[in-house]
Structure 1
């Protein structure tokens, strides 16, 4: 007996997907560097050192005197000698006035004038210690520095960014189908 047969053929659907990849580019240009450092302003002021030497007393102790002080010293010494001479003569005159009191005042006065005192020999340091006056003022230095600020004209460049988006295409390559046959 022949039994009819059904034959069924199916075709699956086939979906096709095509993609285009996205393209992205990022470029970072270098910064344009412009830095300037001006020199610092510097001023230096100095006052010179000073050395003062006062040798007046040292020169005087060695016998080197100026005319004014030599004249003043001689005038004082002359005045002292005159006063001593006046006192001596007054005393001798008093002794001679009292000759009647006894003694021999003329012989005594002659003996006193004949006698010369001994002079002592001593070591003398010239110039005398401490007679030279020295004063020193050291130099003064004033340094002023005025720093200058940095001049920064650096230009930052923004990144260059390009982006092309990707695409996805979906399409049917094969549509589904069903085929039915009868076989007898």
Structure 2
């Protein structure tokens, strides 16, 4: 006699995983770059120079000089004029003594003396010259200071922007587990 057997069939569960890859997005903004130029500066400081003009010799040459100097000139020429007067009288005396010439010396001397009045003058003026004005200029030092210019740089690196988008993951049972128990056919007669 055959012993009835129970059949057990088992079906495994099947797990199914469906995945899509994630996406990586990277964006790199440009760096911020700023330039600022500071111009150089030039500082110049100078005191005024001094100009001195001395025209006293020019004034003396045109008769507007100091009275004391004019009188001193007249005084110093008096001796020379007196010597010239004495020499002239001697010369006139010599001409008068030369009677043998037959000339009218006295009339000639009288005529010359009339002309001498106009020519006689004291030299009280200074020397006339193109260089009678003294000009002197004293310069002052110039202080020059230079402030150097510069370029100011401002550079900012911007961080990279990274974004990761997860992919899709579907996990599901593609096949359910099952256990099938098949009983034997029992056909037993008693």
Provide TM-score, normalisation by structure 2. 0.47
Provide TM-score, normalisation by structure 1. 0.48
